[in-house]
Chains A and B, each alone.
Chain A
Amino acid sequence: MPARDSEHSKRRVIVIDDQEINRELLGMILEDDYDVIYAENGEVGLHFIRENINTLSLVLLDLVMPVMDGFAVLETMRSEPELHRLPIVVLTAEKSAELRSLKLGAADFITKPFDAPEVIRARVARIIELSEGRSLIRAAERDELTGLFNERFFYEYCSRLERYNPTWEMDAVVVDIRRFNLVNEVHGRDFGNKVLKQLAASIKRNIEHEGGIACRLEADIFFLFCRRREDYNPLLERLSEDVNREVENAHVRLRMGVCIMGGREVAPERRFARAKLACNRLRGKYSKGVNVYDKEFHDKEMHYESFLNDFQSALEEKQFLVFYQPKYNIEGDKPVLTSAEALVRWRHPESGMVSPGEFIPLFESNGLIQLVDYYVWRESAAQIRRWREELGISIPISINLSRVDMYDPELENKLLDLLKENDLKPEELLLEITESAYTDDARTIIKVVESLRNHGFKIEMDDFGSGYSSLNMLSTLPIDVLKMDMKFIQNVREGSKNFRMVELVLDIAEYLGVPVVAEGVETEEQVRLLKNAGCSIIQGYYFSKPVDAKTFEKFLLEKKEALK
């Protein structure tokens, strides 16, 4: 037991629970081994944690509490880098709360009613051991591979640097390698390490002479604390050039996040967290190499933050709206309506219509998208039924499954329940899954998809062409439809490079024996080209923008008329 072996002082844990009986029960279980602190709500607890962060080993946290609940504590602790280190064990009676708590960084759970005291003691001991083990591994000052600092000592050195050089203006800079996992996968780990070493050497050459310092946080993520410069693009270019010159066939692309906000009154941990956020936001944006966390970025973050706060009421007050965009089969002389894609919109009471591009990535980043998705699925399933009952015609609607949905153990049941509630067949609710979800964790996704298909669901692979699937993997994928990435359609002209890509996608689809849906189709010319190339289904402004259910009825009525 870690609480007994080293030194004589007990490790300190804090129990945050509003119920005195629960606090005392845990106290009784733990106080022989630990110095136990009690707090009756999140606010009191958090205050104590902030003041005593260095002497605490663990937080035991109830979720439902007055004043400030456990989720708010988790959220706050996750957003404050200084509090990251401290493991949190959540006390809960709800299975449903577990996933959310895990996402917010909880290390483990203790369920109510409590387990036997030995079980609780063992869990507490294990979590403390784990977190201390991690700290120990980091305790060596230098990163073995690159010789740069590692995280643990780095922040301390940053603070010192600023203390001893009061006139220097320093920026927190994060550099990482785009899709580094691919470099490792394609060339092997040794090659990957060679790249990392060269990048580290180049970083040193470029910033140490002016007094800057650097650390490797983990994998391919480097933190640089360097003298402020007007433009960071030249530094980024020099680093890329160095690595690609020194390592043959490296072809790596770097990206950089820079925090120029805060200055020395803000802890380095926090400034790097901001720089990292800016860097992460470059994911998928290949034309931009440097992203700066400045006042504007900060304000936008605050804006996002307020969106997050508004989320719950948005759900409750049905501010999310489901729009439908028709898909037409163009194989015959006349286009025929085949299905529709359900797309979410947010009518915010103050900001008006918020574009999905603004809130979907935000909700994806913290798992809330799952709730939005489910809302859209439920609406869509009910809509199919309503149309069938009211207009005597119905068409399949495709709904989007986010990455996080694929890991939801209840996914299948949720979908099957929706079918049952609305008396639908599985082929009436088409499932769109983005290609990049497959490339992230192919094995898991394929298992989930196979199981869904066994229930009769049809799977459409969304954004195909954007996710770098290998041909080899594609042939083993269980899918029913390919949706071509919009990027291919834009600027498509006969003989252009984009058009060759379109033809390639169509060839792949033919090889797989599945139809292709082209998204984002706007012009007559595009329709003609796609049709000639053998694309069967088209979605886009050419036919209609996404519209509300009422407006969509006209497409259904047209189809009904044509069927007569």
Chain B
Amino acid sequence: MTVQELYEKIGGNFDAAKKILPSEALIGRFVVKLLKDGSMQKLRDGVAAGDGKAIFEGAHALKGVTANLGLQNISDLAAEIADEFRTGRERSLSDEELQAKLDELNAKFDAASEEIAKFQAQ
């Protein structure tokens, strides 16, 4: 599968990625780094521990990294979760809504990771 095909599969914005990373090969080289990136794990650990600060930091980092890779769909979800846990801000989502967002993010991230891993293996 080509990098562009990978992006289509995981709902990424190939054009956005191309703006930052000028060649397809480079995009490929960078997108696989997401598999080693610790921000999603930090977010998950934060959720497990009920640690708002860790959730914010993990989500905020994930938002930046995925935005740079053109994975806007994941970045937007991460941004919503980060905003929810920013210090000094009141919560605006109900627990159910938040859980739904987290589930969606988990699913999207895992699906993307799976495809990226396949891409890397080929």
Contact = CB atoms under 8 A, between A and B. Distances in A.
Interface of A: 18-22, 24-25, 28, 62, 64, 66, 93, 112-117, 312, 315-316
A19 B60 CA distance: 11
B11 to A, nearest CB: 16
Interface in B46-79: 56-57, 60-61, 63-65, 67-70, 75, 79
Given A21-B69, A64-B57, 15 more contacts: A19-B61, A19-B65, A22-B64, A24-B33, A28-B26, A64-B61, A93-B64, A112-B67, A112-B68, A113-B64, A116-B19, A116-B20, A117-B20, A117-B22, A316-B87
Contacts of B61: 18-19, 64
Contacts, number: 61
B64 A112 contact: yes
Interface of B is mostly: helix
Interface of B: 16, 19-22, 26, 30, 33-34, 36-37, 39, 56-57, 60-61, 63-65, 67-70, 75, 79, 87-88
A495 to B, nearest CB: 54
18 contacts: A19-B39, A19-B65, A20-B37, A21-B33, A21-B68, A21-B69, A25-B68, A28-B26, A93-B63, A112-B63, A112-B64, A112-B67, A113-B64, A113-B67, A117-B22, A312-B87, A312-B88, A316-B87
A24 B60 CA distance: 18
Contacts of B64: 19, 22, 62, 93, 112-113
Contacts of B36: 20
A311 B4 CA distance: 49
Contact of B30 (A25, A66, A93): A25
Contacts of B56: 64
B20 A21 contact: no
A312 B53 CA distance: 15
Given A19-B65, A64-B61, A114 B37 contact: no
Contacts of A19: 37, 39, 61, 64-65
Contact of B67 (A18, A93, A116): A93
Contacts of B60: 64
A308 to B, nearest CB: 16
A113 B20 contact: yes
A60 B35 CA distance: 25
Which residue among A24, A112, A113, A117 has the maximum number of chain B CB atoms within 10 Å of its CB? A113
Contacts of B21: 25, 28
A64 B60 CA distance: 8
A495 B21 CA distance: 78
A93 B33 CA distance: 21
Which residue among B26, B30, B57, B64 has the maximum number of chain A CB atoms within 10 Å of its CB? B64
Contacts of B34: 21
Contacts of A117: 20, 22
A25 B57 contact: no
B68 A24 contact: no
Contacts of B26: 28
B87 A114 contact: no
Contacts of A64: 56-57, 60-61
Nearest to A118: B22
A19 B65 CA distance: 7
Contacts of B68: 21-22, 25, 112-114
Given A113-B20, A114-B20, A21 B37 contact: yes
Contacts of B30: 21, 24-25
Contacts of B75: 113
A28 B21 CA distance: 9
B35 to A, nearest CB: 11
Contact of A20 (B33, B67, B79): B33
Contacts of B57: 64, 66
